[in-house]
Chain A
Amino acid sequence: MNVQNPKIGVYICHCGMNIYPKVDVMKVAEYAKTLTHVSVASEYKFMCSNPGQELIIEDIKQRGLNRVVVASCSPRMHEPTFRKACETAGLNRFYFQMANIREHSSWVTLDSDMATQKAMELVTAAVKRVSFHAPLYTKDVPVQKSVLIIGGGIAGMQSALTAADAGFKVHLVERETYIGGHMAKFDKTFPTLDCAACISTPKTVSIGQHQDITLHSYSEVTELSGFVGNYKAVIRKKPRYINEDTCTGCGLCAEKCPVSVPDPFNENLGNRKAVYRSFPQAVPLTFCIEKKDPAPCRISCPAGTNVQGYVQMVKTGNYQQALNIIMERLPLPGVLGRVCPHPCETDCRRSLTDSAVSIRDLKRFAADNAKLEDVPLPKVEDRDEKIAVIGSGPAGLTVAYYLRRKGFKVSIFESMEKPGGMLRTGIPDYRLPPAILDAEIDHILSTGIEMNTGVGLGNGITLAGLKEQGFDAIFLGIGAHVPVKMNIENEDADGVIDAVPFLKEENLERPGSAKKRVVVVGGGNVAMDAARVAIRSGAQSVSIVYRRTRNEMPADHEEVEGAIEEGIELINLVGPKKVITQDGKVIGLECIKNELGPADDSGRRRPVPVEGSEFIIDCDMIIPAIGQRVESSPVLEDTDVDLTAWGTFNVDQITFQTSVPSVFAAGDAVTGPATVVEAVAGGHRVVRAIEKYLNNEMELLEDEIRQENKMAGKNDFLPVPEDVPVVKRAKTSFMEPSERKNCFDEVDLGLDEASAQKDAEKCLNCGLCCECMECVNACEVKAVDHEMEEEIIEVDAGAVILSTGFKTFQAEKLFQYGYGIYPEVYTSLEFERLNNATGPTSGSIQMKNGKTPERVAIVHCVGSRDSRNNKYCSRVCCMYSMKFAHLVREKTGAEVWEYYIDMRSPGKLYEEFYDRVQEEGVHFVRGRVAEITDITDHPEDDGRLTVVAENTLTMKTLRTPVDMVILSVGLEAAEGSEDVGRMAGVSRDKDGWFNELHAKLAPVSTPISGIFLAGCCQGPKDIPDTVAQASGAAGEAISLLSKGTVSTKAEISFIDPELCAGCKTCIEVCAYSAIDFDGSRDVSVVNETLCQGCGSCSSACPASAAGVKQFTDLQLMNELEGFL
């Protein structure tokens, strides 16, 4: 409690004519004299002036005042001034209170008496309050001698260099891959026409080399905490996938990169590679790889093959690398290039515009045109663990191959004489020539895998036996080879042979066992295979009986087509009922017609037999192909392995372990009959599981897989360009049906090189980087690292400078200017790139058709001075427009029209530049353009654009035909500045620009002490102003930090230990963790360096123990009493 007897001086300011005469200041002063404790009250023209302050100082000294009230402007403006004056007179600065009678009275009150009355009440409240003020003291705390700068455009660079040259450490954070901001895109700068690169490169280079500047490029600040002198920032550094320390910037990676995408640095007027550097002089010189989510084709491939990668390699003719990529995930490329049902093509986004890329055919093309023996094998360290793989189908081969690549000793046991499983016995040779299969299996085995043929479960080995032989893990890939019965009468008659044994026999021995008239039952690929093999092995007629319609057939479309072409008859909506026999031999199949009923669980409509529609198909051979199941009995012989209700092995969905921990299973033996690629996919899961199992890391696997599942499905792909041409899908050539139906030669002849490359070119590169690893191979210093992850960096800084810059107005919004509709309408940034020596046309100003424009219009105020868009003037457009006019005249000699509302050229040498451009013959039209249209009044102007505007000086509406239009788009606050503002606590004005502390007197400071503004983030400005302001901001930061200490806030919370009940409510509500609990005294204690003085604790404290200094209950209650 204040013991001093208050002696208050009250001073009323006229503020020139701003307060007086609206407020009768004399009356207010007279009134003030009547208030308790007031010993002096006077008015003065300008209290903030030196004589005004002297008045206060003199009174304190002479009359012994111990409290001061000034009624003038907002305390946000002059509170520091008057507090300083008190201090000068030896009074604690907090014995001061301000009454805001300008902003809150004279300026906003219409009636003069009312304004005076209000001023008197404001003064009363201030007087009442100040009586209860207490002296407060600040503490000096040391500061971090470093500056954090957010945004690396010309402003950020200038601030960085200024601060670093003064000896401060600087952290410069830039979200792009290069520094230089918009200026890096410009060719020339107004009004001197300096080359932008020439004047900015020295700065970028110095930044790169300065020992006190740490450049965080391709990074963003995600958190900012702390307070003046001691800020803490969290920086998220995005992965470049290229090591900044080793990259030499040679560009070999980009040369090799097959992926070309629109280049945002060139405003999408040209293309760049997936690995890129925006421009040759970029700092840092490090290249960067841009990745999106893995392409849909890659995601939909069960085996996770990098489809985009090998498609790109086919495109560039690098078939060996294509094969290498395929072999990373598919051990049987030629096989899958022929028989895969290609789910990848279903998900291909190219089908949104025309048709999916012919991915499977491209895979086969790569396999047929590259050498297996050249596929590089990883260096493996041999391990001691032995693994037995039972079954050599696709699942078994996958498991064997990839485990071997990890160094394990692998032995395969195959019960048949030749390896390959269903690939060999189930898929006919005309689809998959045995030579291909042999070659690929040989290659797999050549990596050092032991193959035992003629040995299988129940045929020489048992599970228990294998364990005894010392195998550490066993893989069961025994497939599903047992036919499923039709369950109809006479099924066992002579002439009924199931598709599986039929195909096996024909494939292995080719006895020509088909009879004359064959009926195949089923609609899957096996049925098609059986039918087409039957016609090749002697049948005269073959029919396929299927119970639903062709649409529901599970067989691949190509297979059904092929069968029909070969003369095979499809009999749909028919089910088998009974085999008709004579003397025990088949003579026909009784069938019943079906209708389609409601959908079943598989989503397909269920066939419903039509009563009394039975009929008989004459035939002498019936081949049922309605399914297969697993032969599990030999497995169960000496080991108890759990089975599912369908007779397949029951495995854990994540580990693929059977109920016996060391026994794993995959492929048809787990899934039931499925595709080759699904078997391969299962194999991969098992490889991963067995490795983890043998490393004793099984728990990790579960976490990993859960994590991967969570990551999937963001679908952030490269956008489909708008102008994709329609390209017909490549088709492979086929043997003629008449020729092929008599032999087992391969039907599908594959793609030729030209159509393969053309089709690969259709790929949209959804994932952007295709991870073909060509950059890795090309890089001589091994700087490429596709596994790189984002880094989180924490830095300390005493001060922060925001220099986040601007973005340009989206010209599409002014639809009447036809941007995005007429190709020859450009934005100013596009023109900058068009005119830039490093731009898409190497600096030649030309139209999209390559011709030089003869007539060019430049339209000012696009999106500026427009209350429908941005009300403000963007300040730079008039000048840069005239720079454009000059450049167009200089480079092309074209006629140029400048359409302006008002010409704004206030700057050193700016008006002179205006003169110069006028003298160069540019036509200046004073009028805002109403519209740009392709409609012309004269046929000779067809093909040109017409710019419609009134020349307001002649009152004539001009319709000027031109070849090219440049829209001088205005400036807007940068994307993301809202987040930066929020993080830093700096508010933005209604247009989104950061608010400075004072428009005139503190243009680079913010209300947040220690945070400064530089450049366009505060409002549109040109380069000279930006640089000046950036130097200023750095200067402010230096001035703040040089002393080495800053004063802490005095207006912070306190907790009265006498009153504190130790309930800790304050600790819960404090957003700054600035309150600790003192266990020895059972009270809460404020940490004075962390406390920000928000008062959350004060209002929450149930015991009224917490309060904020300078905002105490007593002070506020008295202020209120003064008002009421």
Chain B
Amino acid sequence: MDKENLQHLFFESEPGKEIRKCIQCGTCSSSCPMTDAMDFGPRSLFALIRDGDMEAVINSNSPWMCVSCYQCTSRCPQEIPVTELMYSLKRIITQTKEKTQSNKAKDLHRSFSSSLKLFGRVTESFIMAKYSLKHPLTGLSSIPLAVQLTKKKRVELKMQKVGSPFKFRRSFKHLR
């Protein structure tokens, strides 16, 4: 999809036009716990969208990094629903099936998502295992913590699932 259309799509998404109010004060970015790991903080992201630089926007890890703590939303002096805009961006990227640069946060999303889609519930060990296939180094480095947890009998190896994962999968697949 061309970038102008993407920008249009964004402004048309429910809270999208709210970013026109942004005064670029940076309250969101500095309130964000994940901002240091983001390619762009929310403020910069909004500036890029307004500039029409959708290439940079959709390839950034920023929306995937959002942990939904809503601190930005609760503090924005323009009352822009920043967290919702992050969801909106993710949805646009997912739904337009744009090919974008991969990033760790997005892969974690995918791991979670596939566990959920398969079983209707998620299991931490499954998500970790699936994620580690893609990012073996991260997987390795988290082994000590995993060992600690296993010692305390806090790692569930059995898959958590709904009564009939098959039925669940069938209904869930049709959604979009």
Q: Do chains A and B touch in the complex (CB under 8 A)?
A: yes
In the bound complex, residues from chain A placing their C-beta under 8 Å from that of B88 are none
- B139 CB–A CB distance under 8 Å: no
Would you call A1076 an interface residue if the criterion is a C-beta within 8 Å of the partner chain's C-beta atoms?
Answer: no
A952 to B25, Cβ gap below 8 A?
yes
Q: How far is the CB of A900 from chain B (nearest CB, A)?
A: 9
Q: Which residues of A contact B36 (CB under 8 A)?
A: 957
CB distance from B102 to the nearest CB of A (A): 23
> Is the CB of A955 closer than 8 A to any CB of chain B?
yes
Q: Which one of B26, B35, B71, B79 lies within 8 Å of A928 (CB-CB)? A: B26
Query: Which chain A residues have a beta carbon within 8 Å of chain B's beta carbons?
Result: 816, 861, 865-868, 901-902, 926-931, 948-952, 955, 957-958
B31: which A residues are within 8 A, CB to CB?
Answer: 930-931, 948
User: Do A865 and B77 touch (CB < 8 A)?
Assistant: yes
Task: From known contacts A950-B30, A950-B35, A952-B43, infer whether A930 and B23 are also in contact, taking CB-CB under 8 Å.
Answer: no
Q: Which of A865, A866, A868, A927 interacts with B30 by CB under 8 Å?
A: A927
Q: Is the CB of B79 within 8 A of A867?
A: yes
State A861–B31 Cα separation when bound (angstroms): 17
Residues of A within 8 A of B23 (CB): 865, 901-902
CB closest chain-A residue, reference B39: A955
Those of B55-97 within 8 Å (CB) of chain A = 71, 75, 77-79
A930 contacts across to B, CB distance below 8 A = 26-27, 30-31, 71, 75
Check A867 against B26 for contact (C-beta < 8 Å): no
A863 to B, closest residue via Cβ: B77
Supposing A865-B77, A950-B35 touch, asked if A957 and B41 sit within 8 A by C-beta, the answer is: yes
The listed residue (A868, A929, A950) touching B43 by CB distance below 8 A is: A950
Q: What is the size category of the interface that chain B forms with chain A?
A: 20 to 34
B24 at the interface (CB under 8 A from A): yes
Q: Are B25 and A955 in contact (CB under 8 A)?
A: no
Instruction: Enumerate the 7 nearest inter-chain pairs by beta-carbon distance, A residue then B residue, closest first.
Output: A950-B26, A928-B25, A927-B26, A930-B30, A950-B30, A866-B77, A930-B31
Q: Which residues of B contact A958 (CB under 8 A)?
A: 30
Assess whether B78 is in contact with A949, with CB atoms less than 8 Å apart.
no
Q: How far is the CA of A866 from the CA of B31 in the complex (A)?
A: 16
Residue of A nearest to B35 (CB): A957
Choose one: A861, A929, A950; the contact of B41 (CB below 8 Å): A950
B44 touches A955 (CB 8 A): yes
Contact of B24 among A866, A868, A949, A952 (CB under 8 A): A952
A931 to B35, CA, bound (A): 15
Contacts of B79 in A (CB 8 A): 867-868
| Residues of the B chain whose Cβ atoms lie less than 8 Å from the Cβ of A948 | 30-31
Interface check B29, CB cutoff 8 A: yes
B residues near A901, Cβ cutoff 8 Å: 23-25
B40 interfacial by beta-carbon distance below 8 Å: yes
CA distance in complex: A719, B78 (Å): 37
- State in angstroms the CA–CA spacing of A958 and B25 once bound together: 14
A949 to B26, CA, bound (A): 7
Chain B contacts of A949 at CB under 8 A?
26, 30
- CB neighbours (8 Å) of B25 from chain A are 861, 865, 901, 927-928, 952
State A867–B23 Cα separation when bound (angstroms): 12
CB contacts (< 8 Å) of A931 on chain B: these are 30-31, 75
CB distance from A119 to the nearest CB of B (A): 32
Instruction: Give B115-159 as 1s and 0s: 1 = Cβ < 8 Å from A's Cβ atoms.
Output: 000000000000000000000000000000000000000000000
Q: How many Å lie between the Cα of A344 and that of B24 in the bound state?
A: 60
Task: Tell me, in angstroms, the Cα distance from A951 to B32 when the chains sit together.
Answer: 14
Question: Which residues from chain B contact A868 at a C-beta distance below 8 Å?
Answer: 77, 79
Give the chain A neighbours of B78 by CB distance below 8 A.
867
A1120 to chain B, nearest CB (A): 42
Say whether A928 contacts B40, CB under 8 Å: no
A928 contacts B41, CB within 8 Å?
no
Pull 9 A–B residue pairs with CB atoms less than 8 Å apart, ordered by A: A865-B77, A927-B30, A930-B31, A930-B71, A949-B30, A950-B29, A950-B41, A952-B26, A957-B35
Query: Whose C-beta in chain B lies nearest to the C-beta of A927?
Result: B26
| Chain B residues with CB below 8 A from A927, complex form | 25-27, 30
8 Å CB contact of A957 from B29, B40, B71, B75: B29
Q: In whole angstroms, what is the CA distance A950 to B38 when docked?
A: 13
Tell me the bound Cα distance from A284 to B78 in angstroms. 45
Contact assessment for A816 and B35 in the assembled complex, using a CB-CB cutoff below 8 Å: no
Q: Which residues of A contact B35 (CB under 8 A)?
A: 950, 957
Q: Give A819 Cβ to nearest chain B Cβ, in Å.
A: 15
Complex formed: what's the CA distance from A1078 to B24 in Å?
70
Q: Smallest CB-CB separation from B44: which chain A residue?
A: A955
User: How far does the alpha carbon of A217 sit from the alpha carbon of B23 in the complex, in Å?
Assistant: 44
A816 engages B40 (CB within 8 Å): no
Q: With a CB–CB cut-off of 8 A, which chain A residues contact B32?
A: 957
A404 to chain B, nearest CB (A): 73
Give the CA-CA distance A999 to B35 in the complex, in Å. Answer: 43
Per the bound structure, the CA–CA distance linking A958 and B26 in Å amounts to 11
A957 and B30 form a contact (CB under 8 A): yes
Interface string of B1-35 (1 = CB under 8 A from A): 00000000000000000000001111101111001
Pick the residue among B41, B43, B44, B75 that contacts A816 (CB under 8 A). Answer: B75
How far does the alpha carbon of A324 sit from the alpha carbon of B68 in the complex, in Å? 70
Residues of chain A within 8 A (CB-CB) of B29 are 950, 952, 955, 957
CB atoms of A928 and B44 under 8 A apart: no
A957 to B25, CA, bound (A): 12
Q: Is the CB of B30 within 8 A of A955?
A: no
Query: Once bound together, how far apart are the Cα atoms of A865 and B77, in whole Å?
Result: 7
Instruction: Kindly list chain B residues whose C-beta atoms are within 8 Å of the C-beta of A867.
Output: 77-79
In the complex, residue of chain A having the shortest beta-carbon distance to the beta carbon of B25: A928
List, in ascending order, chain B residues with CB within 8 A of A950's CB. 26-27, 29-30, 35, 41, 43
Q: Which residue of A lies closest to B40 (CB)?
A: A955
- A867 and B18 alpha carbons, distance in the complex (Å): 13
> In the bound complex, what is the Cα–Cα distance between A926 and B23 (angstroms)?
12
Closest residue to A928 on the B side, CB-wise? B25
> Please, which residues of chain B bring their CB within 8 A of the CB of A816?
75
Query: In the assembly, what is the distance between CA of A469 and CA of B41, in Å?
Result: 102
Residue with the highest number of chain A CB atoms closer than 10 Å, among B29, B30, B75: B30
Which chain B positions have C-beta within 8 A of A957? 29-30, 32, 35-36, 41
A957 vs B32: C-alpha distance when bound (angstroms): 9
A960 to chain B minimum Cβ distance, whole angstroms, is 11
Known contacts A861-B25, A950-B35, A957-B36; 9 additional CB pairs below 8 A are A901-B24, A927-B25, A927-B27, A948-B30, A949-B26, A952-B25, A952-B43, A957-B35, A957-B41
- By beta carbon, the residue of chain B nearest A958 is B30
Q: Which residues of A contact B27 (CB under 8 A)?
A: 927-930, 950
Chain A residues in 8 Å Cβ range of B71: 930
In the bound complex, what is the Cα–Cα distance between A952 and B24 (angstroms)?
8
- How far, in angstroms, from A868 to B79 measured CA to CA in the complex? 7
In the complex, residue of chain B having the shortest beta-carbon distance to the beta carbon of A953: B26
> Considering residues A901, A902, A926, A950, which has the most beta carbons from chain B within 10 angstroms of its beta carbon?
A950
- The answer for the CA separation of A861 and B77 in the assembled complex, in Å, is 10
| Minimum CB–CB distance for A520 against chain B, Å | 70
- Per the bound structure, the CA–CA distance linking A364 and B174 in Å amounts to 90
Name the CB-closest residue of A to B74: A816
Distance A902 CA – B26 CA, assembled complex (angstroms): 11
Q: Which residue of B lies closest to A951 (CB)?
A: B26
Q: How far is the CB of B5 from chain A (nearest CB, A)?
A: 27
B77 proximity list for chain A (CB < 8 A): 861, 865-868, 928
Tell me the nearest residue of chain A to B29, going by C-beta: A950
A928 to B43, CA, bound (A): 12
Give the residues in chain A near B75, CB-CB below 8 Å.
Answer: 816, 930-931
Return chain B residues, CB-CB under 8 Å to A866: 77
CA distance A927 to B43 in the complex (A): 10
Cα A606 to Cα B36 with chains together (Å):
74
C-alpha gap A867/B22 in the complex (Å): 12
Rounded to whole angstroms, the CA-CA distance of A931 and B41 in the bound complex is 16
Nearest CB in chain A to that of B77: its residue: A866
Distance to closest chain B CB from A987 (angstroms): 27
- In angstroms, Cα B79 to Cα A930, docked, is 14
Compute how far the CA of A929 lies from the CA of B26 in the bound complex, rounded to whole angstroms.
8
Chain A residues within an 8 Å CB radius of B40: 955
CB of A711, distance to nearest CB on chain B (Å):
48
Q: How far is the CA of A949 from the CA of B75 in the complex (A)?
A: 12
